[in-house]
Structure 1
């Protein structure tokens, strides 16, 4: 069921009659006139889409005012959420780490790589080989199977087992040091870079 011509005319009349009032509400929210016009027009279009029966509402001005304020508040909330997300993913441009901090970070990476290498050396030889071929030589699972003579399923299983064991051991090391690790892939690459 869609709105009839009478309801559409009523919406059009209410838009014209209460536009200035809604504009003043928007201005008090600190919005620009263009933004307010867009929001008002979108609200009335949504009324049409939602088939709101305004002829059943006794106080149109109050209904429109409350609907418009709620819409403005929802838009502000959404903008704040988006800004918080941007703030989390955008690095602080004013922050520049000093040489000591860069040196400490580099030393931490080297120390972690050494610990990962020790953990890697504790893996079974077949798992070591599969890890080396996958992450250092960049071979696909099928290429590893062909090169090692293992079945594709065995390659998957060895990769899974190796990564699981490394992850468990890394978590133990991490818990002991209370420091976060860089991604496993990055450290594995560092591990083989020294070979």
Structure 2
């Protein structure tokens, strides 16, 4: 049971999600993960991605799960970043995850992948790899109404998600 306690701690830090790679790092075998799925402690969500069955959901779970399903180098992109922070009144049908690698695994319909540009700046928001908010606002030009992006810029600065310089730059670009 010691291994499951360690898996639970890992998953608790990752919105109920644990990957097979994380499990291997602490000495948990694939067989143990399969056994815990069979007994109902974990549920398999995708290739190498597991979720605790006894988990109180949070609003950010879907974002953490989407990034985990895409793989190691994936990060939230565009409208999904704005949605996670409740900016610009966006509610995309799919969570968009950018990755520099080609993703060959089968993903659920609610996860969309895009190629990550080489110069993409990334960060972590609440432990979830993500495109920087300022870059996400800029990436949404043309797909989200300008008025909503202006409001998102104001809210992002008020919440400390973007700097004053980024705020000024975005306001000039959006006006």
Q: Please report the TM-score for the alignment, with normalisation by the length of structure 2.
A: 0.21
Considering fraction of residues, name the structure with more strand: 2
Q: Which has the higher Rg, Structure 1 or Structure 2?
A: 1
Please give the TM-score of this superposition, normalised by the length of structure 1.
0.19
| RCO comparison, higher one (Cα < 8 Å, 6+) | 1
